[in-house]
Structure 1
Amino acid sequence: MVNSKFDDTLAAIELNAARKLNWDYSQFKDYFDFTVNEATIEISPKHKLEASEGETLKQALLDYGFQYKKTINDLILVFEQDIELR
């Protein structure tokens, strides 16, 4: 994916996730750190997520073709772009 296009997609994912969580976008950006590594997105919450918030976040990424892959150290959620969309 072209870098600037991916940046736009990441911004759309963040806005979608904030909307689904019923959070203000700045509150969302303060709560999560996003790291992009090629076809994966790592999301690090600054505080432990409630189960419903985690599921909402997973659904927001699924809307953009990213599948939940794994959790690292009970905090970092890793999503991988759907193979068929690459």
Structure 2
Amino acid sequence: MSEVPDEAAFVAALERVSAAHPDLSPMEAGLLAALALGLPGDSRAFARAFGVEHALVLRALTSLDEAGRITIKERDTRTQRTRYSV
């Protein structure tokens, strides 16, 4: 996820995810919307592309993982970079 996706496509995907899952936080919905657009599931790349703190992304990923909405595929213990998928 080296660049931000098309804004209109991301907003549309975010609206679809939020409507389907109103219990999700905006960050959680954004992570799922990015995956729905086919963007790679990488916490650091998401944080950088969208200008949010990596810790907030990690917190949302933990919540999604605990709810069974995503699968954590890999976590670098030093950098906390987390790779995930639906």
The answer, yes or no, to whether TM exceeds 0.5 is no
Between Structure 1 and Structure 2, the one with more strand by share is 1
Between Structure 1 and Structure 2, the one with more helix by share is 2
TM-score using structure 2 length: 0.37
TM-score using structure 1 length: 0.37
